[in-house]
Structure 1
Amino acid sequence: MKRDLSYLATCPIAVLGAGAVGKTLAADCKLAGREVRLYSRSKKSIALVERTGILMDGIQRNLYGFERSGRAYLDIVTNNMAEAVKGAKLILMSVPALAHEDYLKKLVPLLEDGMIIHTFPDNYASLLLRKFMRESGCTKDVIIGGWGSAPYGTRIEKIQGFWTNHVGIKYRAISLRGACLPMSDMDDFIESGKYLPCMDSVYTGNGPERGDTMLDIGFSNVNPVIHVPASLLGVSSMENWSLVYGNAPDSYSMYSHGLCPSICRVQYQFYQEEVSIAKAIGIDYPRYSYDMFFSRRSILTQEYMGLDENGKDNVIFPLDKPCDEGNTGPNNINHRYITEDIPVGCKIYHDLGVKFGVPTPIIDSMIVLGGAMHEKSFFSETKYNLDYIGIGHMNKEQIHNYLYKGNYNEKSN
């Protein structure tokens, strides 16, 4: 039965995480007139926010010209999660995946009936939150879901290494792929997004795409397929950017300076392995054609500039021409494009491939190369595996039953 979600129109919104996306989510919702609370476990990330507010501006490129700018003064800025989430029925989380466990375990005892949790991007957070709820005996009536990406490409302005409270939006998504756990809550989850001002460019644009389970949303996260091959295979350009070529280190862009036809071919084969895994599991996945990878924004462009009547990108940034459209980064191999997207995204793809009998040589090569650069093994030195997200012991039928209907099959002793 469809729920009455009208209470979401006036409830406080809690944003967990004060990085670039978190601050932008908070500012966007506040500038639209909502009560917004911002939580971070880091005092540094929210320093002076109460005094300065968050200045939000930028190009905000998107097909329909949606834009919202200004200086947002939030209602609560805190290092106390309980203070942020009490009575806030809309919970937005955007933190690095490796911080999910800490944030989610703190959230579980604070959950209230009627809360709806959106994670940007999900990165298996929904599976983890359901797992931590089971382990703690939490039975609160909540809707849990997430999205394949964030509603923006955004960056915090940095001045000589000092992080300001100014966020600049490079683009706004006009469509995002989302899902929830279990999928029986999907209608309500998608409906709840209408009450999030940070999703206005999506809901007034081409609208949200309904994903097919949270594993689909794992495949819908474009970060591993774009970031990892381009960062690893373009590492010499990155490391020589300032040392040899004399450029400002922070001006390097994987998109603008690292991509080339050979790397794009690797990205497409990486994607094809994702498709093979999804088909073996029996779930849907996002569709990209071969030619969509050969652009300086890769497959990301369609997220904010859309497709034409023939299903082709409205805008292509050719590889044979200079382009400054892409966000900057990475600056070194310790960047999240490598240290998050390999041990989380690539590793779960690998494990799913093993479980369902799908070879993943391209994805595996990325895990090997990234590990070699860090002088470690990302196969073993990561907590992310199928047991960690709670599905390692289940067969295909049991996984489907859990993802679609919420019926969890406990691991036998």
Structure 2
Amino acid sequence: MDMSYLKDMPIAVLGGGAVGKTMAADCALAGKEVRLWDQPRFAKTNFLNIEKTGITLSGNQFSFFGYQRRGIAHVALATDDLAKAVKGAGIIIVAAVALGHEAIFRELIPLLEDGQVIHILPDNCGTFVFRKLMREMGCTKDVVVGAWYTAPYGIRVVRRGGVVTNECKVEDRITTIRGCALPMKDNDRFMASAYYIPAFGAIIDAEGEVTISKKGEEFHHGFVEGNTVLDINLSNVNPVIHVPGTVLAVSTMQNFDTVLGQNKANYSLYAFGACPAIAEVQAKFWEEEKALAKAMEVGLCTVNYEDFFSRTTMYGKEYMGPDFAVPYEENYQNFWGDGPFDLENRYITEDVPVGCYLMSQLGKKYNVPTPIIDSMILLASTMLKRDLAGDSKWTLDYLDIDHMTHDQLQAYLREGTYTPKA
């Protein structure tokens, strides 16, 4: 699919947090015109002095093929005016947490132009919400809406003395990423557009490479086409890693500075919370996801049982190849400071009411038992003293798919044929 018209068009990045700011800088350093937008309530902090300082890309930038891009980037525009950010842009990257999606989409949809391609990362049901709102708002623009199962980096924005700086510390760059459009029939356009996003440079550079693991397993680098956006949501491994890891290692996190005498700012789930017992729970969690994907006749990324049993979990092979794993015996200081530092963190407040709850609902719809996933929802809710599922707006009804039969849902996911509620 020829998407070359995107080559010289600006890129709009929506979200001034770690992922958005890093992707904007990465694309700008590659010579693209980039507009960076954030909501007014966040822009004042996230864009402080950005015109003067630019955005610094730093960090180890580990990658299997050694891809790196460093320096100080200056975006063409950093603004809280969404119309200015997206006017004439070819690609619109949504790099915001799921809790902010609806408000952003309601403001964005009236501004859409034919030919634009929207990339949501990670999806966290964003594609469903976007298409639902397009229908509700009567938007008929010819746009492609797709998503990726993760961001292309392991990244943190540097804070100094309580001040959010414009330095983005990139620890890792992945060499493979899984994506899909809603509907799936738009995949040719969606996947082709990804080559015009320089932030995917490590992935583009590795496209077509195959690495053979020690066990003889083939690992394919580059862009991977998912089998429907439900595949992309299930393949997002944040819930399976973050939720059991945070919930079951909560005592280490909460006692880190008091009882254990450590600097609270150094805490990391991966460095200090990961252990074989928690990995067993994560592996069982994943088995429930595999059963869901099979029942729904959608795809799922390949994660092996043994991939859970290291400090780097399955994330390691995305960045450093299929045989990369840091053993539990190693004090891996590269992870220090990753957090989370309390339970009021997206590891819980996003991954439970969005990711885990979606899986639990789909399990009930398709008669697939999800006891491990359900137990994580219950424990997290108990610890936070509120019902993270019952209070969640990410119901199947909110996503506009609860009323559909299996065949109707397949037609919607693949062809875009929407069956209205009776």
TM > 0.5 between the two?
yes
Query: Residue type of the partner of 1:379?
Result: A
2:384 equivalent in structure 1 = 374
Equivalent residue in structure 2 for 1:321, among 330, 344, 350: 330
Distance of 2:168 and 2:193 partners within structure 1: 25
2:97 equivalent in structure 1 = 96
Distance of 1:74 and 1:203 partners within structure 2: 22
Secondary structure, counterpart of 1:256 in structure 2:
helix
* Deviation digits for residues 136-168 of structure 1 (CA, Å, limit 9, x no counterpart): 000000001010000001000011221111000
Distance of 1:321 and 1:290 partners within structure 2: 20
- Deviation of the 1:5 alpha carbon: 1.4
Instruction: Give 1:235-274 correspondences, 5 Å limit.
Output: 235-274=250-289
1:153 equivalent in structure 2 = 154
- Deviation of the 1:252 alpha carbon: 0.4
Distance of 1:286 and 1:6 partners within structure 2: 29
1:135 equivalent in structure 2 = 136
1:5 aligns with 2:39: no
Secondary structure, counterpart of 1:18 in structure 2:
coil
Secondary structure, counterpart of 2:5 in structure 1:
helix
Paired residues of 1:297 and 1:325 also in contact (CA < 8 A): no
1:294 equivalent in structure 2 = 309
Moved more, 67-76 or 325-334: 325-334
2:352 equivalent in structure 1 = 342
Distance of 1:207 and 1:37 partners within structure 2: 26
1:389 equivalent in structure 2 = 399
Moved more, 347-356 or 327-336: 327-336
Distance of 1:223 and 1:71 partners within structure 2: 30
- Deviation of the 1:203 alpha carbon: 1.4
1:278 equivalent in structure 2 = 293
Equivalent residue in structure 2 for 1:34, among 26, 32, 35: 32
- Deviation of the 1:320 alpha carbon: 2.3
Consecutive unaligned residues of structure 1, counting only runs of 5 or more, are 308-313
Distance of 1:298 and 1:161 partners within structure 2: 31
Instruction: Give 1:38-187 correspondences, 5 Å limit.
Output: 38-41=36-39, 42=42, 43-187=44-188
Query: Residue type of the partner of 1:226?
Result: I
- Deviation of the 1:345 alpha carbon: 0.3
Distance of 2:234 and 2:205 partners within structure 1: 25
Equivalent residue in structure 1 for 2:410, among 387, 393, 400: 400
Paired residues of 1:297 and 1:326 also in contact (CA < 8 A): no
Paired residues of 1:296 and 1:326 also in contact (CA < 8 A): no
- Deviation of the 1:178 alpha carbon: 0.4
Distance of 1:324 and 1:211 partners within structure 2: 34
Distance of 2:244 and 2:254 partners within structure 1: 15
Consecutive unaligned residues of structure 2, counting only runs of 5 or more, are 207-220
Query: Residue type of the partner of 1:348?
Result: L
- Deviation of the 1:29 alpha carbon: 0.1
Query: Residue type of the partner of 2:405?
Result: N
Query: Residue type of the partner of 1:290?
Result: Y
1:358 equivalent in structure 2 = 368
Paired residues of 2:316 and 2:325 also in contact (CA < 8 A): yes
Distance of 2:137 and 2:48 partners within structure 1: 33
- Deviation of the 1:212 alpha carbon: 0.6
1:24 equivalent in structure 2 = 22
- Deviation of the 1:326 alpha carbon: 3.0
Paired residues of 1:26 and 1:74 also in contact (CA < 8 A): yes
Distance of 1:273 and 1:161 partners within structure 2: 41
Paired-residue identity, %: 45
* Deviation digits for residues 117-140 of structure 1 (CA, Å, limit 9, x no counterpart): 111111111111100000000000
Query: Residue type of the partner of 1:247?
Result: Q
Query: Residue type of the partner of 1:338?
Result: I
Equivalent residue in structure 1 for 2:340, among 330, 352, 356: 330
Query: Residue type of the partner of 1:62?
Result: S
Moved more, 47-56 or 71-80: 47-56
Distance of 1:325 and 1:267 partners within structure 2: 22
Paired residues of 1:297 and 1:317 also in contact (CA < 8 A): yes
* Deviation digits for residues 184-232 of structure 1 (CA, Å, limit 9, x no counterpart): 1111111100000001111111211111110000011110000000000
Distance of 1:99 and 1:391 partners within structure 2: 21
Secondary structure, counterpart of 2:334 in structure 1:
coil
2:244 equivalent in structure 1 = 229
Distance of 2:101 and 2:257 partners within structure 1: 33
Distance of 1:51 and 1:103 partners within structure 2: 27
Distance of 1:54 and 1:29 partners within structure 2: 11
1:15 equivalent in structure 2 = 13
Query: Residue type of the partner of 1:96?
Result: V
CA-atom RMSD in angstroms: 0.9
1:311 equivalent in structure 2 = none
Distance of 1:301 and 1:388 partners within structure 2: 34
Distance of 1:174 and 1:406 partners within structure 2: 30
Paired residues of 2:195 and 2:204 also in contact (CA < 8 A): yes
> Number of matched residues?
404
Paired residues of 2:352 and 2:389 also in contact (CA < 8 A): no
Distance of 2:265 and 2:113 partners within structure 1: 42
1:310 equivalent in structure 2 = none
Distance of 1:352 and 1:147 partners within structure 2: 20
Distance of 1:286 and 1:151 partners within structure 2: 16
Paired residues of 1:89 and 1:116 also in contact (CA < 8 A): yes
